[in-house]
Amino acid sequence: MNVDIFGLAMQDYLGGERGNMIRVDTNLTEGEELSVDYLFRKENELPEWETIAMSLCKGKILDVGAGAGCHSLILQHKGFDVKAIDIAPVAVECMKQQGINAELKDYFEEEGKYDTLLFLMNGIGMALTIEGLEHVFAQAKKILNPGGQIILESSDIIYMFEEEDGSYVIDLNGAYYGEMEYTLTYKGVQGEPFPWLYVGYDLLSDKAEEAGFKLEFLYQGEEGNYLARLY
């Protein structure tokens, strides 16, 4: 049975535990740790790019793959009409415990109409593959109101393949370099590996244009992470 690692951690946090860590391993990295507390950050704890994202939200908002719901909660407190969706039942229950308007729903089955679609904490990674990214944008076209926007965060992880001489070693015949596999461990319990996508700048530009969106880069960090708006 596949264990919901994030769900276990979020339940513990809402039960009063603080300072717990989730171990994050990927096919490219080992042993990084994510603080469970970070999933529940307040507005004054947001990194710069998320503060920018919050400031650009407008109209009716769909928070996709909302997780613990920290962004939705902040937006609700600001008076926005926001719905948070996730495919993890425990995450949805944890959001409801906090008073968030949350629903157990697959993004691709959403039928409402929205002015802003939020994909933060590399939420666009739910596309899983390059082909999946095209489906994400096609669905966005269906549920965005005229003048609507997508605000997304991702990272260009090309730097992870850089050699000492500045060249890059990538298998051009293999999968796209941003298609990664994750394994999470919490309190000694390990979840099943799962795929996730990181989208490079150039690829995002190409796919956005193909889908009929204009693209604006809003923020670029030192390690390849960025915030973008599609409209």
Domain assignment present for residue 108? The answer is: yes
Domain assignment present for residue 71? The answer is: yes
Mean pLDDT within 111-136? 96
Number of domains in the chain: 1
What share of the chain has pLDDT > 90, as a percent?
87
What's the confidence (pLDDT) of residue 109? Answer: 98
Query: 3-state DSSP: the chain helix, strand, coil percent, rounded to 5?
Result: 35, 30, 35
pLDDT digits (tens, 9 = 90+) for 212-225: 999 999 999 988 99
**Nearest-angstrom CA–CA distance, 25 and 193:** 9
CATH number of the domain enclosing 139: 3.40.50.150
Could you tell me the pLDDT band of residue 173, with boundaries at 50, 70 and 90? confident
pLDDT digits (tens, 9 = 90+) for 191-206: 999 999 999 989 999 9
Q: Is the pLDDT of residue 161 over 90?
A: no
Burial of 93 (0-12, 13-18, 19+ CB in 10 A): middle
Query: Tokens 């393949």 identify what position?
Result: 161
In this structure, is the dihedral angle defined by the CA atoms of residues 122, 124, 130 and 132, taken in order, positive or negative? Answer: positive
What's the confidence (pLDDT) of residue 1? Answer: 58
For the entire predicted model, the pTM comes to: 0.94
Domain assignment present for residue 109? The answer is: yes
Looking at every residue in the chain, the average pLDDT score rounds to 95
**Does 175 or 8 have the greater pLDDT score?**
8
**Nearest-angstrom CA–CA distance, 43 and 116:** 19
What's the confidence (pLDDT) of residue 19? Answer: 97
DSSP conformation class of 92: H
What's the confidence (pLDDT) of residue 86? Answer: 97
pLDDT digits (tens, 9 = 90+) for 27-67: 988 889 999 999 999 999 999 999 999 999 999 999 999 99
**Nearest-angstrom CA–CA distance, 17 and 56:** 33
What's the confidence (pLDDT) of residue 208? Answer: 96
Mean pLDDT within 161-190? 88
Provide the residue range defining the domain that includes 127.
Answer: 43-176+196-230
Q: Is the pLDDT of residue 164 over 90?
A: no
Domain assignment present for residue 93? The answer is: yes
Domain assignment present for residue 66? The answer is: yes
- Of 107-116, 125-134, 169-178, 191-200, the range with the lowest mean pLDDT is 169-178
Domain assignment present for residue 120? The answer is: yes
Domain assignment present for residue 191? The answer is: no
Domain assignment present for residue 3? The answer is: no
